[in-house]
Amino acid sequence: VQLQASGGGLVQPGGSLRLSCAASGFTLDEYSVGWFRQAPGKEREGVSCISARDGKIYTDDPVKGRFTISRDNAKNTVYLQMSNLKPEDTAVYSCATTCFLYSGNYYYDKTPGYAGQGTLVTVSS
């Protein structure tokens, strides 16, 4: 049973990347799924989340209009499409079966909760 984030890399400002959060051993659409990021020296922050209950999407203001979260239930995967990337988007991005953080840690409202290892996104020219 695991959740795996992938798709990070080095991209120039203004570029795009698509991150994937793939689940194995459990059905991901039964859970809310959030994307989070942690920049060097900073606390983990929420980026975007898709609710299991009603499919509602929440997106943090700094990335609104640039990042889009989506699900592919057939692939048991949640994606984060990132466009018009900026240097300040540089961070380790991770996914988890929650929309919530508490003191920088994942707060699971449905247990068991799962979190994937992060994938590094570097935006630089």
pLDDT in tens, 56-99: 999 999 999 999 999 999 999 999 999 999 999 999 999 999 99
Taking the C-alpha atoms of residue 122 and residue 55, their distance in angstroms, rounded to an integer, is 29
Query: 87: phi > 0 → left, psi -120 to 50 → alpha, else beta; which?
Result: alpha
Decide if 65 contacts 11 (C-beta within 8 A): no
**What pLDDT does residue 4 have?**
95
DSSP 16-29: -EEEEEEEESS-GG
Mean pLDDT over all residues of the chain?
A: 95
**What pLDDT does residue 1 have?**
87
**What pLDDT does residue 53 have?**
80
